[in-house]
């Protein structure tokens, strides 16, 4: 009985981990394919570097916002990024995760208590941006180029490690990955760019389903609203309110992801985010979820949610969520496409004697 062995890893967020991935795959010649489920590096680091550098570049520009007003604008941006205040309030009613509800409740509370102050702060900020438009754009361009340069070095270093692996590695980017990852981490066969591929006895396909509005959702203005995190469960309601019956039919039959996947027959779908849980059907993931339901692959591999968990196969498919803590070697029967066995591995950190007091070195060990 022939099997394909998949090494699933993702949510690395650490350039040092690629050496461990290389060593592990080189030590396991029985592994047929590596599957990377996104988040090659720590996007927060790039974002912080960007903000620090931009602040320095714009230090000569006077902004009349007080520190409190600046904080309130950050709150407003968080609310907007999560679909707006009404969407968050509705999520409080529908969501059953108490810990997440507490976070949402705090965000909603601060926003509602300071709506007038937020409006005043936004007006000040808009005037500042208008008065300094050219200088701000020049500073943003210079800063972005510097951060992309840093990301390029990280990707090239990772590529040097993964290029030494004999097995094919396939994957998709995650929400922490910058656009130049395609060019500089070319050791990975990017499924969303290069299309499906067969390795061992399985065919693999993949699609981005986080924050990539240019490739995932149609460019029409109506669908641009999806990036505001309209829940998948309310897509019909949203389309009926903002469009027509033909718009709804268009979404179900011809949204960008479904359109790109038409005619493809794959055994394993690789995405960054999964399709279950609170965030499973939000935003651009709505289109991906519909494509997933249309394609009906037997296997679905993803990451994004940090922790440890297996998909419930009662949902009609099998798969695993790899995390920042765990990676897996999955044994799949080539004929039935059923998972026969899962080897669980965990990321551990060991002291490097040559490094002295520096941060410890990551390694992959059996759980």
Last residue of a domain, one of 77, 111, 131: 131
Asked whether residue 189 falls in the same domain as residue 89, the answer is no
109 domain residue, yes or no = yes
**Average pLDDT across the chain, whole number:** 78
- What pLDDT is attached to residue 226? 39
pLDDT score of 315 more than 60:
no
d(CA 10, CA 13): 8
Last residue of a domain, one of 131, 160, 180: 131
When divided into structural domains, the chain yields a total of 2
Asked whether residue 293 falls in the same domain as residue 204, the answer is yes
Asked whether residue 115 falls in the same domain as residue 240, the answer is no
Asked whether residue 178 falls in the same domain as residue 126, the answer is no
228 domain residue, yes or no = yes
87 domain residue, yes or no = yes
- Do the bridges between strand 299-301 and strand 168-171 make them parallel or antiparallel, or are there none, so unpaired? unpaired
161 domain residue, yes or no = no
* H-run or E-run covering 261: helix 256-261
49 domain residue, yes or no = no
- Domain assignment of residue 299, given as a range: 3-39+169-366
Confidence category of residue 218, pLDDT binned at 50, 70, 90: very low
- What pLDDT is attached to residue 108? 92
pLDDT score of 278 more than 80:
no
152 domain residue, yes or no = no
DSSP state of 167: S
Say which range, 82-91, 181-190, 290-299, 315-324, has the weakest mean pLDDT: 315-324
- What pLDDT is attached to residue 175? 76
- What pLDDT is attached to residue 244? 60
Confidence category of residue 161, pLDDT binned at 50, 70, 90: very high
What is the average pLDDT across 14-42?
Answer: 94
Q: Are 45 and 16 in contact (CB under 8 A)?
A: no
Query: What percent of the chain has a predicted confidence (pLDDT) above 70?
Result: 71
Asked whether residue 217 falls in the same domain as residue 282, the answer is yes
Asked whether residue 227 falls in the same domain as residue 299, the answer is yes
51 domain residue, yes or no = no
d(CA 216, CA 281): 14
144 domain residue, yes or no = no
Asked whether residue 253 falls in the same domain as residue 296, the answer is yes
Asked whether residue 20 falls in the same domain as residue 86, the answer is no
């Amino acid at each position: 009985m022939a099997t394909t062995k998949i090494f699933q890893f993702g949510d690395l967020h650490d350039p040092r981990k690629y050496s461990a991935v290389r060593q592990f795959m080189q030590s396991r010649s029985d592994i047929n394919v590596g599957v990377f489920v996104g988040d090659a590096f720590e996007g927060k680091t790039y974002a912080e570097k960007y903000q620090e550098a931009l602040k320095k570049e714009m230090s000569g520009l006077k902004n009349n916002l007080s520190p409190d007003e600046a904080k309130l604008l950050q709150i407003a941006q968080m609310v907007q990024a999560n679909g707006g205040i009404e969407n968050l309030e509705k999520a409080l009613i529908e969501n059953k995760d108490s810990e997440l509800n507490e976070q949402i409740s705090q965000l909603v509370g601060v926003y509602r208590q300071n709506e007038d102050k937020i409006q005043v702060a936004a007006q000040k900020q808009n005037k500042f941006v208008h008065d300094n438009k050219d200088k701000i754009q020049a500073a943003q361009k210079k800063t972005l180029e510097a951060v992309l340069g840093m990301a390029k070095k990280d990707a090239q270093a990772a590529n040097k490690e993964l290029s030494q692996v004999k097995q094919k590695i396939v994957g998709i980017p995650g929400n922490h990955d910058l656009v130049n990852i395609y060019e500089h981490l070319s050791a990975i066969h990017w499924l969303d760019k290069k299309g499906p591929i067969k390795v061992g006895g399985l065919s693999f396909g993949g699609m981005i389903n986080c924050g990539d509005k240019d490739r995932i959702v149609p460019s029409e203005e109506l669908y641009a609203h999806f990036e505001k995190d309209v829940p998948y469960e309310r897509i019909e309601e949203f389309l009926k309110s903002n469009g027509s019956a033909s718009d709804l039919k268009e979404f179900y039959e011809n949204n960008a992801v479904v359109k790109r996947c038409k005619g493809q027959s794959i055994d394993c779908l690789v995405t960054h985010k999964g399709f279950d849980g609170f965030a499973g059907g939000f935003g651009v993931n709505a289109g991906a979820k519909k494509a997933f339901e249309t394609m009906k692959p037997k296997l679905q591999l993803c990451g994004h949610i940090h922790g440890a968990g297996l998909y419930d196969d009662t949902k009609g498919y099998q798969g695993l969520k790899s995390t920042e803590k765990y990676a897996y070697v999955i044994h799949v029967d080539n004929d039935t496409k059923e998972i026969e066995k899962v080897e669980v591995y965990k990321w551990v950190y060991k002291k490097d004697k040559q490094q002295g007091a520096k941060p410890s070195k990551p390694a992959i060990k059996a759980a």
